Amino acid sequence: MKYILNKKLKYYTKEILKYFNITIIAFGLIIAIILIKYKPIYKVSISGKDIGYIQNKQALEEQIKFNVGAEKQENIDNITIKQEPEYKLKLVSRKQETNEEEISKAIKENVEITYKYYDIALNNKTVEAVDTIQEAEELVKEIKQSNDKSEELDLSIIEKYTENAEEVNTTKIEIAKTDINEKINQAIEQEKIEKEEQKRIESMPEINGIKLAYLPVTGTITSRYGVSSSIRSSRHTGLDIATEKGTPIQAVSGGTVTFAASNGSYGKLVKIDHGNNIETWYAHTNKIYVTEGQQVNAGDIIAEVGSTGNSTGPHLHLEIRINGQHVNPQKYLYK
């Protein structure tokens, strides 16, 4: 009896193994057929929108890391992907092509990059920019050691951030060393000019708190305030300064243009209201560069010298009016 059971057990075991082998072969054939017709690749999507297929997810991510901001790699401070791409492994037709380059571009457009660089500033005005804090510190140290005006130099290092790669206009330290002293000397000279200009303006007169910061033109005074002349029906209401035709005329102070057109014997006339009941008139101009209602600053070019209206030659007729009444300009200017 035992012999018979063992024989049957061997028989059934043999049949099971035979069936199992056939199943494995069949399964293998199915897999082979599938792999002949299909291939496993990743489908990539951003925010639910499919953007293509890739063969190798890791290779794509490494390529993106390398390519993102490649032109300013040394300045990248942070990279943030606004919407992380999703990868799903799919079986697709072997005819399906991958498009790694397009996907890489789409992901790059979905990236926010923050760049960092360092400004070298003189009195808070940038004179040079470098990539790293080490370069900035080395540069400042060398400048102070080599510049004979080091005690006058208020040099500082300013850490800057931007999301626009084009703003990262840094200079390699070897180049910076050769030209920064020249830039600093220019900056010092410019600062000196600005200080002198500020002193000049501060020394200029005021009327009712309005600073008369600029002479409108330089030239020769040919007719003073209050004089009589055969060409006028009344005493002179302003000051005539003769100079070449076309000479630029500057506004003596900031204000609003209230008139800019021809006006009888005044010829082409510009009037500026400076506030506090102070007004200046510029007459006999050749060309007018401003319009009524325009805001101007002290020193702006408003017209050019001419000889329009009742005039015997190129000159500027300047009037200063307080509360609508003309006064002698030489109480304040051209003393």
Range of the domain at 183: 115-203
| Final residue of a structural domain among 141, 172, 203 | 203
| Final residue of a structural domain among 62, 81, 109 | 109
Domain contains 8: no
Residues 290 and 275 in one domain: yes
CATH of the domain at 232: 2.70.70.10
| Mean pLDDT by groups of 10 residues along the chain of 335 residues | 51 56 62 67 85 82 64 72 82 80 79 86 82 87 72 80 84 76 78 88 94 96 85 82 97 98 96 97 98 97 96 95 96 93
CA dihedral for 295, 299, 303, 308, sign (positive or negative): positive
Structural domains of the chain, count: 3
Give the amino acid at 25: I
| Final residue of a structural domain among 179, 203, 227 | 203
Q: Give CA–CA dist 223/272, Å, rounded.
A: 22
Predicted confidence at residue 306, as pLDDT, reads 97
Predicted confidence at residue 188, as pLDDT, reads 76
**For the chain, how are helix, strand and coil distributed in percent, rounded to 5?**
35, 35, 30
Domain contains 46: yes
Domain contains 59: yes
Residues 148 and 102 in one domain: no
